[in-house]
Amino acid sequence: MITDCLPSSFKYFLSSINLIFCIISGFILLLGLWLYLENTSFIYLIDLIIKNQHVQIPNNVQEVIHEVNQSKSLNQFGQFFILSGGSLLLFTSLGYFGAAKESRVLLICYGFLMIVLMSFEVVIISVYAGYTKEFVDVIKQFLRYTLTNFYTGAERSSDAITMGFNYIMAEMKCCGIDNYTDFKKARIFQKKKEHYYQNTGPEGCWDRFTHWINNALNPLIICMIVLFILELKTTVIVQDHRSKKTTPEIDNLLNEKKSKEIESNREASRKLKEKKRSSSAKLIEDHYELVDAPLIDFRREIDGENPTFLP
């Protein structure tokens, strides 16, 4: 009883977890499609909520929402949500239907994708731990390139890059990547010569951002690793239970097939014996017609039964 209930509980656990993520990923996908295809209704809805104050929103959050609504970055956010939501929906659907239907193929695909994602995560963590300086240099180089070529400095910017930099600097009270001198190389920003934010400081955002990431990311990584291992173990248990469950069915099919083959062989042997018997009877009959019948007639003639021998 316990051995039967344990795999079933793992099955329902795996199905429930993936169903929750399916719903979340489906919502993200629909939101992305909404933002990408028809963002005017989304902007109208947000403005209506803010104006009517049905939901209490802090002033700084309202300013950020207003900037996003007035910009063209909604399409970029929509593309990101479509990609992330669609990928997550496909991944979690494999886990949900594979566990619910106990499909061996779907569970194998789900387990393979989990192993790939976990391996990718382990590689990233290993590279970051072993080559921290090189890893940091690559990220900083990318951020400097982005700041140099795409940052405009406008408070009401229409691109996501400038909005991202402005939001981080305003929230963390920092300026630039290393310090404020990074903006001297920003081409578009230098052409406009707009003022720096007054609520930013001389300290760069990199140190503060990495400190915040380390505090928030370490527990998240641990939770993700534990969840991945638990789901992978659950997938293996459900798949093994499915294999054990189908083994008696396969044995029954094999036994049934073997019985049919034995019966078929018996029928063929019986028909062969009947054919041999009929062939033997035919040979005896032919022998009688060729040998025994003339002798009997001759004896009858000698005994006077045949009238042709009478005087």
Q: What would the pLDDT profile of 157-171 be if each residue is shown by its tens digit?
A: 556 677 777 778 877
Query: Which residue, chain included where needed, has tokens 């310090």?
Result: 179
CA distances from 18 to 9, 88, 98, 174, 231 (A): 14, 10, 10, 40, 9
Tokens of 50: 């803010």
Cβ atoms of 162 and 154 closer than 8 Å: yes
What's the CA gap between 168 and 220, in Å, rounded? 21
What's the CA gap between 234 and 13, in Å, rounded? 8
Residue 134 has pLDDT above 60, yes or no: yes
Residues belonging to the chain: 311
Percentage of residues in the chain having pLDDT higher than 70: 60
pLDDT-based confidence at residue 197 (cuts at 50, 70, 90): very low
3-state secondary structure of 274: helix
Between the CA atoms of 40, 42, 46 and 51, what dihedral angle is there, to the nearest 10 degrees? Answer: 40
Residue 94 has pLDDT above 80, yes or no: yes
- How many Cα atoms within 13 Å fall on the side-chain side of residue 173? 2
Q: What is the pLDDT of residue 190?
A: 72
Q: What is the pLDDT of residue 209?
A: 78
31-40, 100-109, 211-220, 286-295: which range is least confident on average? 286-295
Residue 288 DSSP code = I
Give pLDDT tens digits for 215-224.
776 777 777 7
Residue 210 has pLDDT above 50, yes or no: yes
120-129, 189-198, 211-220, 264-273: which range is least confident on average? 189-198
Residue 308 has pLDDT above 50, yes or no: no
**Nearest alpha carbon to residue 239 among 112, 93, 116, 99:** 99
Tokens of 24: 């979340």
- Cβ atoms < 10 Å from Cβ of 146: 16
Following DSSP, what letter does each residue of 104-129 receive, concatenated? HHHHHHHHHHHHHHHHHHHHHHHHHH
Q: What is the pLDDT of residue 158?
A: 58
Q: What is the pTM (predicted TM-score) of this model? A: 0.52
Residue 289 DSSP code = I
Rg of the Cα trace of the chain?
42
3-state secondary structure of 86: helix
22-26, 76-80, 86-90: which range is least confident on average? 76-80
Residue 125 has phi, psi (to 5 degrees) of -65, -40
Q: Which residue has the higher pLDDT, 287 or 272?
A: 272
Overall average pLDDT of the 190-198 stretch: 57
Average pLDDT, the chain: 71
- Cβ atoms < 10 Å from Cβ of 14: 24
Residue 280 has pLDDT above 70, yes or no: no
